[in-house]
Chain A
Amino acid sequence: MQNLPWIILFTPLLSAVLIVLFTQRWRNLSALISIAAVFVSAAASIVLFRTLPDSTTAFQLPWLDFSALGIGFQVPIGITIDGLSKAMLLVVTCIGALIHLYSWAYMADDEGKSRYFAGLSFFMFSMLGIVFANNFLMMFIFWELVGVSSFILIGHWFYRPAPPAAANKAFICNRLGDFGFMLGILLVWTATQSVDFEVIKAKLPELAANPAFLPFATAAAICLFCGTVGKSAQFPLHVWLPDAMEGPTPVSALIHAATMVAAGVYMLVRVYFIISISPAAMEVIAVIGTITAVLAALMATQQDDIKRVLAYSTLSQLGYMVMAVGVASRDGAMFHLFTHAFFKALLFLGAGSVILACHHEQNIWKMGGLWKKQPITLLTFAAATLALMGVYGFSGFYSKDAILIAASEHHPWIFYAGLFTAFLTAFYMTRLFVVVFFGKARTEAAGHAHESPAVMLIPLVLLAIPSVVAGYHGVIANFLPTPAHEAASNVPYIASGLGLLGIALGFLLYRGQEKDPIRIPLLANKFYFDEFYALLIWNTQDLLARISGFIDRWILDTALVRGLSSGTWGFGFALRFIQCGNLQAYALLFGAGVVALFYFILFYK
């Protein structure tokens, strides 16, 4: 029992190390090691969930010790066990286990299978580190490790042009956010002299009693939120997530939909006691979340790549969660994180099944008519789609309404934006679903599609169950504190009405269409964010780089370094002509030199 958290945390690391060091050449063995490791973690997580009491200090490993510097500051690898981490732990390990299993089939013919599974295992280790962290420094380091493993996995097919670029973009965007996160941690440390969550929590009420502390807390909270903006791909750093879809589809499902991007929300909930001191920071968080939710939903309506539609949908749902934290409903945020993890992972895995059936075709307009060829994929995908739309009876309905109710109590505009997003979500998911599964097969590949192998379908079915039932009060109450439900609220009816409207509109517009009947370039081009950022960077950072490049190339290199060397060379070249080989010329020069020497010594003062 005493070793349970360590088993969960370090088994995936062990697997990654084993694969990298020993089994690189045996691809299937590597995959088996990785899958076995994640199943061990998942089983141990379930045992931990059932048996271990809440504690933040029972499990500690000594790690960083700064006492030699005279500041008596130690950071352990400490395990937090509470309701929050237990629920997150189950999400991460169970979805992780299913996705590992799915990857076995999806990556069956991939040359880099060993590398892929090592990356997945390493990701599991890093993610579990974030979930377990009981102090900021440990969380930050695992936070960065997650970024690294995400980088490795996005760039898995590094020999193609797009994935490495996407990996770089993801990593750089994350680093931008993480810089803010680090500043936030330093601010908190300055105020409390501690990075331990419990210690900070104990010290904060005393500090917060001083009104002068409020601006400081606001700054710290917003800096911490920067970490979320990067990792959970919130506006304005949302641009990396759609590009991250260049990675293998199971990676998109695990990292860029279910777990890693949710880590930002998890972190916000974990440090809620800091954020909640500052109403201004809460407003910022709510507004950023709302903007992300609406913008991403708008962009999703005009994407043609199946994974990109889902990516924008993920952005939009993450916006919901962040918004929920901002409107002081952390239970709602965690609830939505919990349900979203299941149905979004399922959506991505379903998309992977479709993509594989259509021979790696991702354009939805080149699919169609898959409903009779892939019945199980269709059914599970439908369950996840309905959950995402928030249709009554599916998990998303409950969690989305929890957020919308909290928003309606907070500020009407945020509430309206949330409703509009719900409408758009129903619309674009209907569009996706109708175009992919119904109508005629639009290409040869789609015509010859067939159902995926069982090892891929089992995770789909297993994920479909929580996608439906995870929202039921009797289920969720076992895992997370549920938001107080107000029976009198009419929010669910409004949201459901708008959702049905979106579904109806989607059906009417897209039924039997051969190509997209509406074209909105602004949305299809993602509000030109990428172009804007390219321009911005071209005019700021690149400008600086070009100037320093010019100075380096022409002034330092050419004028100084090469100038000096070629000047010396040229001088030597000119002097070479003195060496004419004529003995008497030498003698003359020698004599002239002696005369000159005497002249200078004797007469020149």
Chain B
Amino acid sequence: MVTLNDYLLVSGLLFALGLAGVLLRRNILIIFMALELMLNAANLSLVAFSRFGTVSGLPNYNGQMLVFFIITVAAAEVAVGLAIIVALYRARQTTNVEDLNSLKF
């Protein structure tokens, strides 16, 4: 029997994986994908909460509602983010974040 804890564990692992990717990878595209991974970790836990948190015998659809929102926002974010990355690449000829360090004093 798969319990809520198992889902949350997987979700946490996914989130940690995403965070590690964001913090450790140098390619900005990979960082971007790791970011998506963190969003999906959140989606997974939300769906799990929805499934296990029943209201009068039915799943709590509030969680699933939020998931749809997140997917929508993530799609929009991907569109904008990828566009930024492309523009950045055109300007700087690189996708390595260690070379993109001009945002400082």
> Using a CB–CB distance below 8 Å, which chain A residues touch chain B?
576, 579-584, 587-588, 591
Q: Are A579 and B23 in contact (CB under 8 A)?
A: no
User: Nearest-CB distance from A286 to chain B (Å)?
Assistant: 81
Q: Are A584 and B103 in contact (CB under 8 A)?
A: no
Q: Are A583 and B19 in contact (CB under 8 A)?
A: no
The CA-CA distance from A287 to B98 in the complex, in Å, is 94
Q: Which residues of A contact B104 (CB under 8 A)?
A: 579-581
B102 at the A interface (CB under 8 A): yes
Most chain A CB neighbours (cut-off 10 Å) among B19, B22, B31: B22
The CA-CA distance from A582 to B100 in the complex, in Å, is 7
A interface, over-half SS: helix
> Using a CB–CB distance below 8 Å, which chain B residues touch chain A?
19, 22-24, 28, 31, 97-98, 100-105
The CA-CA distance from A576 to B105 in the complex, in Å, is 7
B interface, over-half SS: helix
Count, A-B residue pairs, CB within 8 A: 29
Q: Which 6 A-B pairs have the closest CB atoms?
A: A581-B104, A581-B101, A579-B104, A583-B97, A576-B105, A579-B105
User: Nearest-CB distance from B77 to chain A (Å)?
Assistant: 16
Q: Which residues of B contact A591 (CB under 8 A)?
A: 19, 23
Residue of B nearest to A591 (CB): B19
Q: Which residues of B contact A583 (CB under 8 A)?
A: 28, 31, 97, 100-101, 103
5 contacts between A and B (CB under 8 A): A579-B105, A580-B101, A581-B102, A582-B101, A584-B22
Residue of A nearest to B102 (CB): A581
Q: Are A584 and B97 in contact (CB under 8 A)?
A: yes
Residue of B nearest to A577 (CB): B105
Q: In the complex, given contacts A584-B23, A591-B19, what are 5 additional A-B residue pairs having Cβ atoms less than 8 angstroms apart?
A: A581-B101, A582-B98, A583-B103, A584-B22, A587-B22
User: Nearest-CB distance from B81 to chain A (Å)?
Assistant: 13
Q: Which residues of B contact A587 (CB under 8 A)?
A: 22-23
Q: Are A581 and B103 in contact (CB under 8 A)?
A: yes
User: Nearest-CB distance from A443 to chain B (Å)?
Assistant: 74
Q: Which residues of A contact B22 (CB under 8 A)?
A: 584, 587
The CA-CA distance from A540 to B41 in the complex, in Å, is 79
Q: Which residues of A contact B101 (CB under 8 A)?
A: 580-583
Q: Are B23 and A588 in contact (CB under 8 A)?
A: yes
The CA-CA distance from A581 to B98 in the complex, in Å, is 9
User: Nearest-CB distance from A270 to chain B (Å)?
Assistant: 77
Q: Are B19 and A582 in contact (CB under 8 A)?
A: no
Residue of A nearest to B28 (CB): A583
The CA-CA distance from A588 to B19 in the complex, in Å, is 9
Q: Which residues of A contact B105 (CB under 8 A)?
A: 576, 579
The CA-CA distance from A84 to B100 in the complex, in Å, is 97
User: Nearest-CB distance from A86 to chain B (Å)?
Assistant: 84
The CA-CA distance from A581 to B24 in the complex, in Å, is 16
Q: Are A582 and B97 in contact (CB under 8 A)?
A: yes
The CA-CA distance from A580 to B98 in the complex, in Å, is 11
Q: Which residues of B contact A584 (CB under 8 A)?
A: 22-24, 31, 97
User: Nearest-CB distance from B71 to chain A (Å)?
Assistant: 23
The CA-CA distance from A583 to B104 in the complex, in Å, is 10
Residue of B nearest to A576 (CB): B105
Residue of A nearest to B103 (CB): A581
Q: Which residues of A contact B102 (CB under 8 A)?
A: 581
The CA-CA distance from A587 to B101 in the complex, in Å, is 13
User: Nearest-CB distance from A575 to chain B (Å)?
Assistant: 10
The CA-CA distance from A591 to B23 in the complex, in Å, is 9
User: Nearest-CB distance from B12 to chain A (Å)?
Assistant: 13
User: Nearest-CB distance from A587 to chain B (Å)?
Assistant: 5
Q: Which residues of A contact B100 (CB under 8 A)?
A: 583
The CA-CA distance from A581 to B97 in the complex, in Å, is 10
